[in-house]
Amino acid sequence: MSAPQKVVLVTGSATGVGRACAVRFAKLGFAVAVNYSKSETDARETAALVRACGVPVLVHQATVADDAQVREMVARIKTEFGGLDVLVNNAGTTHFVAHTDLDALTDAVWDEIFQVNVKGAFYCTRAAMPLLKERTGCVVNVTSVAGLTGQGSSVPYCASKAALNCITLSLARAFGPEVRVNAVAPGPILTRWLAGREAQVEKYLEQAPLKRAADPDDIADAVVYLARGTTLTTGQVLVVDGGRTM
């Protein structure tokens, strides 16, 4: 009997890094679950790119900040694809707030960022873990160098990514050897998140040996490596920022 087709869930895969990861896994022969919260048109475009690679695709709307929606999404993946091999926790959010403007950091700002970036990744991992254990799968969290340096779009964003880095280590310890858990920590990425902030990015990258920001494919390289290019790597946070933070 032939092995079942490999399956990947990429959260927040309507655009940017998530889309790049979805297409890259499709080219490797994975069936792909495309997740989005609001951008249905973009998600359908991602699905078309995946389908063009000749693999099955499903598109599912769910906010990762809602545990019930996450569980429903994973249950659908099990029903339609039969299992799950790789979870890429890519969905994220932020607010751009100067680090000195503490009064702007309301409870609502803190709660939204942590609900998506931290609890959302946890909800997805918790729901997916039984399926991942069945197939000796893996989790790749997309975090940020902001969680290592304290520099980023806002103080809560930096704190949320630091928390996700730590969760990566905790889960790697808890679920090895069945499931590997790693993270990719990008620096600035040329997506719509940074539109209008190009001058800030250029200044930040003056101290980077490679002198350029990432594009989504650069991050997909690292995600796919941690998922498929290594079998003895777990509990690691791989920085992909052109050497800026070394």
Of the candidates 36, 123, 157, 204, the residue annotated as catalytic is 157
CA distances from 133 to 76, 139, 181, 227 (A): 17, 11, 12, 14
Nearest to 9 by CA among 67, 49, 60: 60
Nearest to 6 by CA among 227, 185, 194, 188: 227
Is 36 part of the annotated catalytic residue set? no
Check if the beta carbon of residue 157 is closer than 8 Å to that of residue 94.
Answer: yes
Which residues fall within 8 angstroms of residue 1, CB to CB, at 6 or more apart? none
Catalytic residue set: 157
